[in-house]
Structure 1
Amino acid sequence: MSATLAFATPDGGMLHVRVETAIVAGWTARDRAAVDHHIEELAAIGVPAPSTVPLYYRVAASLLTQDETIEVVGEGTSGEAEPVVISDSQGRPWLTVGSDHTDRALEATSVALSKQICAKPLARAAWPLASLMERLDALTLASSVQEEEGGPFVAYQAGTLATIRPLAELIAGSPVAIDGRLPPNTAMLCGTLPVLAGGVRPARAMRLEIGDGEARLAHEYATRVLPVVA
């Protein structure tokens, strides 16, 4: 299974990628204390600690989507803003922003299954990663959530990529990396930031962005909740 994605690029063109391999990197904070904090956040909702850090979860590439609405089962899902590296058909890396939307109830049973059960929304624009390497740490990453349908968006996450392990290091550590690079037609979600306040919690809609004072990549998506039936 694969996902066909299209990204607007800074030169006004379009990048088309048929992603065949998708990875979610977890527990990627550069500061071990921040990793422990995130472990504690998730432990508060019953999620077991990881076996190692960082940890790389393989998910179906078909979960990647650029739609504005995703369907989820039940009320207990939520997302988180993440830098996403896309390797195109020639192996060139691109940066975008996405959300590792997760079933929080299932996460208490299996983190791997909780990630596989939900779509992973991505923005519709991307930047060439090579042009950003000298200022990656300065890029900001943020999200806001709408907790009730029709309600206001409130700040949920905010920080810089300096709090996440260097993307080159995460890529090189991936189990699919070849000579320190992602293979062609691969996407990797590279981890997230702690929640500002209130803990990890469900949301009906989410706004994501990554960027600097001059430009940003952004995406907004909502969830359509499907009923839980026995």
Structure 2
Amino acid sequence: MKTINFKLQRMSGEEDLALSYDELLVIGYAGRNMEKTMEHIKELEEQLGVPAPKKIPTIFECSHELLTQEKDIKFVGSKTSGEVEYVIVLYNDNIYIGLGSDHTDRELESVSVPKAKQVCPKPISKELWDYNDLKDHWDSIKLISYQTINGVEEVYQDGTLADILPVEKILEELKERVGDIKNSIIYSGTVPLLKGFAYGDNFRCMMVDEVLNRTIALDYNVQVISEEER
């Protein structure tokens, strides 16, 4: 069991939350539009050689140690990239929502998707929202990400939570295939890329709730570790 600290932002105010969690899980191929999801699977297979999954959505277990709130994060290899995702945080029978990036090694992905997920740290926001505050306008909440490449920041993803399977569906899949889970952190799957994979030195993303006029932001630098011995 690991512990991580958050600021829980409720409509009534903010409070500190030190959360101990048992599982870190990453959901893949979680698009709500099945036709587009299948197109994405085919695209990955043809362009990157990523094998098609046996079942969708996919569920990957990751090491506790991968979860991070650091600003500067080191990765092996130059072809790793982030993906903006909402994050389900289960704690003491409550559901909270955070923002995360399922940073993944794209070269290793063609060999083994589980290994590609496992070798990269998983950035997560320092803020959480109470899911009960979001239910009635869930699909309208925006997910946007940016990559900085050669000093120029470009929009990388631009979608809404309507693009991804909802909380209840993800938890239903987990209960059926993993069992009852408590005190877990679950990355939801992502929204479509605008122009295909890109590899920058900074990844910035936001979850924007225009109904309640608030935003959770996540921003980290991608530092490439040399693969050569010193």
The answer to whether TM tops 0.5 is yes
Looking at structure 2, the residues matched to 91 and 209 of structure 1 have their Cα atoms a distance apart, in angstroms, of 26
Looking at structure 2, the residues matched to 110 and 20 of structure 1 have their Cα atoms a distance apart, in angstroms, of 24
SS at match of 1:12: strand
Looking at structure 2, the residues matched to 220 and 99 of structure 1 have their Cα atoms a distance apart, in angstroms, of 10
SS at match of 2:134: helix
Question: Match of 1:71?
Answer: 74
Looking at structure 2, the residues matched to 102 and 7 of structure 1 have their Cα atoms a distance apart, in angstroms, of 26
Compared CA separation, residues 6 and 52, structure 1 to 2 (3 A): same
Looking at structure 2, the residues matched to 64 and 7 of structure 1 have their Cα atoms a distance apart, in angstroms, of 16
Looking at structure 2, the residues matched to 5 and 71 of structure 1 have their Cα atoms a distance apart, in angstroms, of 21
The one-letter amino acid paired with 1:27 is Y
Shift in Å at residue 3 of structure 1? 4.6
Looking at structure 1, the residues matched to 200 and 117 of structure 2 have their Cα atoms a distance apart, in angstroms, of 16
Question: Match of 1:192?
Answer: 190
The answer to whether the 8 A contact 2:103-2:120 is kept is yes
Question: Match of 1:227?
Answer: 226
Shift in Å at residue 153 of structure 1? 1.2
Question: Match of 1:135?
Answer: 137
The one-letter amino acid paired with 1:107 is E
Compared CA separation, residues 200 and 132, structure 1 to 2 (3 A): same
Question: Match of 2:208?
Answer: 211
Query: Among the aligned pairs, what percent are the same residue?
Result: 31
Tell me how many residue pairs correspond in the alignment.
222
Which of 45, 48, 57 is the equivalent residue of 2:48? Answer: 45
Question: Match of 1:86?
Answer: 89
Q: Deviations over 1:53-79 (max 9, x none)?
A: 111001112111111111100101001
Looking at structure 2, the residues matched to 219 and 73 of structure 1 have their Cα atoms a distance apart, in angstroms, of 21
SS at match of 2:14: coil
Q: Deviations over 1:134-178 (max 9, x none)?
A: 211111111011123xx1210000111111111111112113453
Q: Deviations over 1:120-141 (max 9, x none)?
A: 0011111011221121111111
Which of the two has greater strand per residue? 2
RMSD between superposed Cα atoms in Å: 1.5
The answer to whether the 8 A contact 2:208-2:215 is kept is yes
Looking at structure 1, the residues matched to 178 and 56 of structure 2 have their Cα atoms a distance apart, in angstroms, of 17
The answer to whether the 8 A contact 1:42-1:200 is kept is no
SS at match of 1:40: helix
Superposed structure 1 runs of 4+ greater than 3 Å apart: none
| TM-score, reference length from structure 2 | 0.91
Q: Deviations over 1:162-216 (max 9, x none)?
A: 11111111112113453xxx412x000000011111x112221111111222111
The answer to whether the 8 A contact 1:103-1:115 is kept is yes
The answer to whether the 8 A contact 1:5-1:66 is kept is no
3-12 or 115-124: bigger deviation:
3-12
Q: Deviations over 1:25-45 (max 9, x none)?
A: 000001112202321342212
Shift in Å at residue 229 of structure 1? 2.8
The answer to whether the 8 A contact 2:3-2:18 is kept is no
Compared CA separation, residues 177 and 133, structure 1 to 2 (3 A): farther
Question: Match of 2:169?
Answer: 169
Looking at structure 1, the residues matched to 43 and 191 of structure 2 have their Cα atoms a distance apart, in angstroms, of 11
SS at match of 2:189: coil
Consecutive unaligned residues of structure 1, counting only runs of 5 or more, are: none
Looking at structure 2, the residues matched to 68 and 45 of structure 1 have their Cα atoms a distance apart, in angstroms, of 29
Compared CA separation, residues 3 and 61, structure 1 to 2 (3 A): farther
Question: Match of 1:154?
Answer: 154
| TM-score, reference length from structure 1 | 0.91
The one-letter amino acid paired with 2:185 is A
